[in-house]
Amino acid sequence: MKKIAVILAGCGVYDGAEINEAVLTLLHIAKAGASYQCFAPDIEQLHTINHLTGEEMQPNRNVLVEAARIARGEIKALSQLDVNDFDGLIVPGGFGAAKNLCDFAVKGTQAQLHVDMLRVGKAFADANKAAGYMCIAPAMIPLIYGNGVKATIGNDADTADALKSLGAHHVECAVDEIVIDEQHKLVSTPAYMLAQSILEADAGIEKLVKAVIKMC
């Protein structure tokens, strides 16, 4: 059975992992006959957003504690992730991917990755193990894989330009499609960067999960 590490960035589209993307990812991993283990950094979120009003709220929350809501408590600190224990890696999106796993949401082309996210991402890249990034998470791809890597966030011009500035070869992609960089065993899909419904998000996510597992 293939084992997939899934990195979550909290719980909720505006400050953490996009819940639908995360759950659909876990569902399709299981449907494909593989297993998963969820991870998240044990850190404070950049901020906590009231998802009803869109306003910041206090007190702030912990990324690992919040992500445990999605994982039903079955989650480990990202610092514990050992690449040798897994065949592949998948990173769902949500603004938390750009706020908690890195600071792309704040710093754009000057972004840096959380130390454990960088370690883990590079470990999978260096081991030539399959990885999938969805929604805004592909913003991290050039910081992990370097210049010329193929990736997509869909078709948002400003975000695509930022990825290009970071060194990626950005490929425009429909919501229900994926972009594969065969050399790096890397898959990306727009998901809720473009999706207008859970059905639209599901189409690309299912393809990404299947592609990652096939490359394992």
This prediction has a pTM of 0.98
Q: How far is Cα 62 from Cα 181, in angstroms, rounded to an integer?
A: 33
**pLDDT-flagged residues of the chain (< 50):** none
| Domains annotated on the chain, with CATH | 3-215 (3.40.50.880)
pLDDT at residue number 6: 98
Collect all residues with Cβ–Cβ distance below 8 Å to 117 and sequence separation of at least 6.
7, 41, 78, 101, 102, 140
pLDDT at residue number 112: 95
Dihedral sign of CA atoms 8, 70, 192, 36 in order: positive
H-assigned helices in the chain: 19-31, 63-70, 95-99, 104-107, 115-126, 141-145, 157-165, 198-215
pLDDT at residue number 7: 98
pLDDT at residue number 173: 97
pLDDT at residue number 175: 97
pLDDT at residue number 19: 98
Collect all residues with Cβ–Cβ distance below 8 Å to 73 and sequence separation of at least 6.
none
Q: How far is Cα 50 from Cα 68, in angstroms, rounded to an integer?
A: 18
Contact between residue 112 and residue 167 where contact means Cβ atoms under 8 Å apart: no
Provide the percentage of residues in the chain whose pLDDT is more than 90.
100
pLDDT at residue number 123: 98
pLDDT at residue number 131: 98
pLDDT at residue number 20: 98
Residues annotated as catalytic are 135
> How many residues make up the chain in this entry?
216
pLDDT at residue number 151: 97
